[in-house]
């Protein structure tokens, strides 16, 4: 399968979007993507660019871009799929994610899986918060990025 790279300038900084065929497999925020070999083909995916533009303008609530997980364990995949159930503008706890993944006691493991999410923004790990309501770490740019994304999705909160 061919690997291709698309760059997108966002309010968070440059996003590197890696595709395997038509499916998005990674988004790296302000860093080098893991799954894009040096010299891979650069592409213009106008569909994803349009969706990202609409999302950052506060008008898109759900992405339609096809995705594929090319890394991760079966448990991590369950966690990442559970993230897609969280509506835009809402948050859930790490405990909720662990429960949705079928392992209610694996709260720490769920948190570690979130840190390995290869598709931030599209697979919205920024919508997960601590049980006390506080914003905790966000491996894709830190808590400030997480806060910005949550404010973007729910400006009235």
Active site residue ranges: 125
Q: Could you count the other beta carbons within 10 Å of the beta carbon of residue 71?
A: 12
Contact 121, 27 (CB under 8 A): yes
Closest of 146, 124, 149 to residue 135, by C-alpha: 146
In this structure, what token pair is assigned to residue 131?
A: 């049980």
Contact 126, 150 (CB under 8 A): yes
């Amino acid at each position: 399968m061919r690997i291709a790279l698309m760059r997108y300038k966002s309010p968070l900084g440059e996003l590197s979007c890696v595709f395997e065929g038509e499916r998005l497999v990674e988004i790296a925020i302000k860093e080098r993507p893991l799954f894009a070999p040096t010299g891979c083909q650069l592409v213009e995916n106008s569909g994803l660019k349009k969706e990202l533009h609409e999302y950052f303008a506060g008008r898109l609530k759900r992405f339609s871009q096809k995705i594929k997980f090319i890394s991760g364990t079966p448990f991590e995949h369950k966690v990442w799929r559970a993230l897609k159930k969280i509506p835009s503008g809402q948050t859930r706890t790490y405990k909720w994610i662990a429960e949705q993944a079928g392992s209610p006691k694996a709260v720490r493991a769920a948190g570690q899986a979130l840190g390995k999410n290869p598709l931030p923004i599209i697979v919205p790990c920024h919508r997960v918060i601590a049980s006390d309501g506080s914003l905790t770490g966000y491996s894709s740019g830190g808590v400030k990025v997480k806060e910005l994304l949550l404010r973007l999705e729910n400006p009235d909160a």
